Structure 1
Amino acid sequence: MRVEEAVAMASLVEGLEAREAAARLRVEDLESRIAELTGTLEVEREAWSRLRVTRETARASPCGPKRYGRPHSRT
């Protein structure tokens, strides 16, 4: 292998290593953001679930929503 070819190959490898490192950082950033969003999603799902249970309990209550001047809703 000639010197020029060796230099070109080294340059190619260095470029690939740099691109690989950048890709790794992007992946790590995305994984971190996904973990954060997953935590937020779980909190919001739990809040949604509690609200559904509360609504269903209020609907099943003998007093029901009419007690507060609102007709029963089908939604």
Structure 2
Amino acid sequence: MGGPTHFPFPTLSIRFVKIMYFDTPKTWFSYKPMDREKSLLLAITFFLLLFLSISLSFVFSFSSNGTLPMFMSLMMS
């Protein structure tokens, strides 16, 4: 019923494991440290995308219950 159609998947997974763990790359990548300006830009972009992806309904429900001032007073003390 499904014999020949399911054959490539074990072969591909074994090949994937072989490539990922046992083959050595032809050229090694040399990673250079990032300078301060680029790291700040990357951090700002990451956090901006992170905060934009948070659902705003959570923020509105959190602030409408009056728990936001209580939470902020606990964090400040």
TM-score > 0.5 by shorter chain: no
**RCO greater where, 1 or 2, for CA within 8 Å and sep 6 or more?**
1
- The structure in which a higher percent of residues are helix is 1
Question: TM-score, normalised to structure 1's length?
Answer: 0.31
Q: TM-score, structure 2 length as denominator?
A: 0.30
